[in-house]
Amino acid sequence: MQLLKDKINKEGVVKKGNVLKVDSFLNHQMDIAFLEEIGKEFKRRFADETITKILTIEASGIGIACITARYFQVPVLFAKKTQTKNIAGEVYTSKVESFTHNKVYDVIVSKQFLTADDRILIIDDFLANGKALIGLSDIVKQAGASLVGAGIVIEKGFQEGGRIIRNMGIRLESLAIVDAMDEKNGCTFRQ
Amino acid sequence: MQLLKDKINKEGVVKKGNVLKVDSFLNHQMDIAFLEEIGKEFKRRFADETITKILTIEASGIGIACITARYFQVPVLFAKKTQTKNIAGEVYTSKVESFTHNKVYDVIVSKQFLTADDRILIIDDFLANGKALIGLSDIVKQAGASLVGAGIVIEKGFQEGGRIIRNMGIRLESLAIVDAMDEKNGCTFRQ
């Protein structure tokens, strides 16, 4: 998506440790008019699919998912992160390892909002090592729901997440894939 | 807002400890068509004001803020919760005590996205003891920005937050005020 690549080139900041800061428009401050273009693009890419619900994960996926959901006319369900030890039987849960924060947390979704009849599109801001996305797809599987695919705004193509997800047979649509980045030259996008 | 009261009466569940679960439409699963009505109502109530940015706090405020922002045509900025000890000088920070989770966390916002020129509308899902809202208003003050007001979806009128915020001289618009609730009879709304 050229508009997104232009936005990353203009406003994104590459920092040490493979960090790409896009918090001026995507995951701290949110440019709503721009997110509408993101939502339209996801709709265009998944136009051939029947989708009943969008699933995302707190916190930065929520805004993107809500704006995108307008174009699909479906509800959004966001998975919660928790470190609570005892999870009641009313939720689906999956463990996710966060490299950024160096801890393992549980991702939970109430069983009542995810059923075998659902056809799920997962939306998130970033795909790097793929742990969060694998956790969400595991929850979809536990519910017996169908995973239609995953829509990602920015994929870090130099990390393994994209390859793992595609090898799992999941339809993955990343609006921009960054194949390399450095502080001096910025991002190199996959063609 | 009658539509909201009807929705709470129909889908809300009152649980022990003054808990009102509205996670079928507001803060776990999100009914986007319904949130659009919420957004329109906030716009109607603050139609006389110039607003440059909507400020909210992760996680459940984000979706409501993003949908509402469409009607104001402004960006959304969401404050992050962190328990990190050392916060760099690039952020505004305020301490918030959470009774639900029995801990104190820092709420942070990058200085670059909040300036003295901004006219801020705070949006959140719930107002109970008011601690989160006071923290956000403190951050607005640190930035030298103007706080136009706060739009809350559900105010728990039997807790002190609403009174404290109004006594601070902040314009507070709560779309539904619950004055009492119990497991058997549900919610009693303020007229």
Looking at residue A102, its pLDDT comes to: 80
Token code pair at residue A67: 């704006």
Cβ-Cβ contacts under 8 Å, B70 against chain A: 32, 36, 67
- The total number of structural domains that make up chain B: 1
Confidence of residue B166 (pLDDT cuts 50, 70, 90): very high
Q: Give the DSSP letter of residue B142.
A: H
Backbone dihedral angles phi then psi of residue A81, each to the nearest 5 degrees: -95, 135
- For a pLDDT cut of 70, what percent of chain A falls above it? 96
Cβ-Cβ contacts under 8 Å, A31 against chain B: 75
Contact of B168 with B149, CB cutoff 8 Å: no
Does residue B94 register a pLDDT over 90?
yes
Q: How many Å from the N-terminal Cα to the C-terminal Cα in chain B?
A: 10
pLDDT: which is higher, B87 or B190: B190
Assign residue B55 the CATH number of its domain. Answer: 3.40.50.2020
Best of A25, A62, A73, A105 to substitute, by most chain B Cβ atoms within 10 angstroms, is A62
| Cα–Cα dist A17/A99, whole Å | 12
Q: Which residues pair with A167 in a beta bridge?
A: none
pLDDT, average across residues B104-112: 94
Label residue B57 left, alpha or beta by phi (over 0 means left) and psi (-120 to 50 means alpha). beta
pLDDT in tens, B17-52: 889 999 999 999 999 999 999 999 999 999 999 999
Looking at residue A72, its pLDDT comes to: 98
Q: Of A98, A125, A130, give the one whose Cα is nearest residue A23.
A: A125
Beta-strand runs (E) in B13-118 = 13-15, 19-21, 29-30, 53-57, 76-82, 91-98, 103-110
pLDDT in tens, A79-127: 999 866 555 679 999 999 887 778 898 999 999 999 999 999 999 999 9
pLDDT in tens, A52-75: 999 999 999 999 999 999 999 999
Looking at residue A158, its pLDDT comes to: 97
Looking at residue A85, its pLDDT comes to: 55
The DSSP secondary structure of A28-55, one letter per residue, reads SEE-HHHHHHHHHHHHHHTTTS---EEE
| Cα–Cα dist B156/B175, whole Å | 11
For residue A109, give the chain B residue with the closest CA: B28
Yes or no, beta carbons of B58 and A58 under 8 Å apart = yes
| Cα–Cα dist B86/A103, whole Å | 18
Does residue B83 register a pLDDT over 80?
no
Cβ-Cβ contacts under 8 Å, B78 against chain A: 28, 30, 59, 63
Q: How many CB pairs under 8 A join A and B?
A: 96
Cβ-Cβ contacts under 8 Å, A23 against chain B: 110, 113
For residue B59, give the chain A residue with the closest CA: A59
Q: Which residue has the tokens 């001026």?
A: A24
Residue type, B184: K
Looking at residue A130, its pLDDT comes to: 97
Looking at residue A84, its pLDDT comes to: 62
- To the nearest whole Å, the CA of A111 is away from the closest chain B CA by 11
pLDDT in tens, A156-168: 999 999 999 999 9
Name the helix (H) or strand (E) containing A148. Answer: strand A146-156
Which pTM does this prediction carry? 0.96
| Cα–Cα dist A10/B13, whole Å | 47
Residue B172: which domain range?
2-189
Residue type, A123: I
Cβ-Cβ contacts under 8 Å, B67 against chain A: 66-67, 70
| Cα–Cα dist A29/B114, whole Å | 10
For residue B191, give every residue at least 6 positions away whose Cβ sits within 8 Å of its Cβ, in sequence order, or none: none
Looking at residue A58, its pLDDT comes to: 96
Q: Which residues pair with A96 in a beta bridge?
A: A105
The complex scores an ipTM of 0.96
Q: Of A172, A99, A103, give the one whose Cα is nearest residue A133.
A: A172
Looking at residue B190, its pLDDT comes to: 97
pLDDT in tens, B171-180: 999 999 999 9
Does residue B85 register a pLDDT over 60?
no
Contact of A149 with A171, CB cutoff 8 Å: yes
| Cα–Cα dist A93/B148, whole Å | 40
